[in-house]
Structure 1
Amino acid sequence: MTKSGQVKLRHIVPSMVTVFAICAGMTAVRMSLDGRIETALYFILLAVFLDAADGKLARFLDTASPFGAELDTLADFFNFGIVPGMLLYNTLYIGTEFDNLGFLATLVLAVCCALRLARFNLSLRSDAVTLKQSDYFTGVPAPALACLALMPIFMHLNGWETTDLPVLRAIYIIGVGFLAVSTLPTYSIKHASISRAYLPYAIIAAMVLVVCLMVYPWATLITVNILYLGSLPLSYRAASKA
């Protein structure tokens, strides 16, 4: 802040990106209410991208602040705890005989997301609570929680709508919520490193992933979710040996 009480534009850019993420989440809710599920999912994916971008911008511009951190937490809870639950309920459960079960599952999902974010905020202020250690997070982070929880909708859009297993879906959604509040070590991409010799292959793999997301979005997201779930035992073993 300047002596005249004015704020430099670079100080509010990260918070503006966070607000855009909230707008993307709210738009996803509207699209789901209108029955435009695919568009709603695209807006959630946009919110995931903006969530990653605001923190990077704050560090790059050296404008990190307690206000920005609190706003980011509120945005994460709404975009990755509330919105996915509303999409799941509106798409798969509302108007069916299992609507109460679906609401319960999405309620647990939202509460687990809130608890994880509260624990994360506490870990930033206290050394007694550790949520992030070196190359690992403790529990599934909020953006990954949302993507995992939305797996039933990805499967539905990928042509598996004839497989109607509402009880199994609810158990899966609740299980994903428990992963977020668990103490399971999970890999952190932020702290991952790669040998220079493998850098060209990593770039090619990232390019292939982007192309697949554009051409086969739901099949690609299903594959990414399965790979992430498969990495959980590996991250637990690796963290135990570290």
Structure 2
Amino acid sequence: MILLSSSSGLFQCTNKLFLSDEATGLQIKEFARKNAANALSLANMVMGIASILSSLNGHHHAACWLVLIGYLLDLADGAVARQLDACSALGAKLDDFADFTTFGIATSLLLRTSGLLDNILCVCYVLSVFTRLCFFTSGIPFMYRGLPCIYSAAILASASLLSGENLPMLRVIAVFMILFMISQTFYPHDRVLESQAWKKAVYAGGIVMLFCSSFPPACVYYLLWSVSYILFPTSLWSSKV
């Protein structure tokens, strides 16, 4: 009798432990689902901070590459959030903070020198990114107002790497990017990872180029990708989910 009671108690303890482990596993999975996109946004922000530190320490090439890595991360976080049904106000704010860090402050420092005019240009670039993020909503579904700062950052980073940090050329490009970002022109919400197969292939090609290609072809690839969004926004990049 005592043996049966002891066995029953052991079974109940084991069952409770199993159920507790199962509940913990479900909680971990739910936490991961809700925060997968936030993790990508945080990774984007880390790339931006690392790029800022690289620029301040004179590692210009590393600063440019870190901006391009942030480019890929930013294109992925929204798609992951929608795919996992994990969109939230916190995620949207975190994405904006990451974008401002990587594509605003970090990118502007690619233009920084000791000259007063260059510093003024950096400030103007950061303010244009801030303006762009503030007026993100266009009122039209799947459309942006003003050029998304991610593309202007990729153009500047790629052009900087290809030109060997040709400052006169970068200044001209930066001025044009500022004008595009603060303009009232409508641009499509590309949703690269949720659209046609060829767009997903372009994204996959960006990953391959970034980690497996020599640096000139990779820079050309990102430059053409970003410029195509400006030149052919509707015919190429309109969202057809």
Amino acid at match of 2:128: C
Q: Residue 155 of structure 1 aligns with which residue? A: 162
| SS of equivalent residue, structure 1 residue 150 | helix
1:139 maps to: 146
Query: Where does structure 1 lack aligned partners over 5 or more consecutive residues?
Result: 124-128
User: Residue 114 of structure 1 is aligned with which of 123, 130, 142?
Assistant: 130
TM-score norm. by structure 1 comes to 0.70
Q: Per the alignment, in what secondary structure is the counterpart of residue 85 of structure 2?
A: coil
Matches within 5 A, 1:168-187: 168-187=169-188
CA positional deviation for 1:116: 0.7
Q: Secondary structure at the match of 1:137?
A: strand
Distance in 2 separating the partners of 1:118 and 1:102: 24
Deviation at 1:216, TM superposition (A): 3.7
**What code does the residue aligned with 2:38 have?**
S
Report the CA distance shift for 1:184/1:39 in structure 2 as closer, same or farther (over 3 A): same
Paired letter, 2:122? T
Matched residues, number: 208
Shift of 1:207: 6.5
In the TM superposition, 1:93-104 aligns within 5 A as 93-94=113-114, 99-104=115-120
Amino acid aligned to 1:106: C
Q: Tell me how far 1:17 sits from its aligned partner.
A: 2.2
Larger Rg, first or second structure (1 or 2): 2
Distance in 2 (CA, whole Å) between partners of 1:237 and 1:48 is 22
Q: Which amino acid counterpart does residue 221 of structure 1 have in structure 2?
A: C
Check 1:50–1:207 CA distance in 2 against 1; reply closer, same or farther (3 A cut). Answer: closer
1:107-146 Cα shifts (integer Å, max 9, x gaps): 11111111011111xx2xxxxx43x544x53321121021
* Structure 2 unaligned residues grouped into runs of 5+: 1-22, 237-241
Aligned counterpart for 1:20 among listed residues 43, 65, 72: 43
What is the letter of the counterpart of residue 129 of structure 2?
C
Cα separation, 2, equivalents of 1:86 and 1:44? 11
The sequence identity of aligned pairs, in percent, is 21
Task: Give the structure 2 partner of residue 9 of structure 1.
Answer: 31
Distance 1:55 1:32, change over 3 A: same
| Contact 2:47 2:69 survives alignment (8 Å) | yes
The residue correspondences of 1:64-103 to structure 2 (distance < 5 A) are 64-89=87-112, 93-94=113-114, 99-103=115-119
The answer to whether the 8 A contact 1:112-1:180 is kept is: yes
Q: Structure 1 residues 146-155 or 67-76, which shifts more?
A: 146-155
After TM superposition, the structure 1 = structure 2 runs for residues 196-207 of structure 1, keeping only pairs within 5 Å, are none
Q: How does 1:42-53 map to 2 (within 5 A)?
A: 42-53=65-76
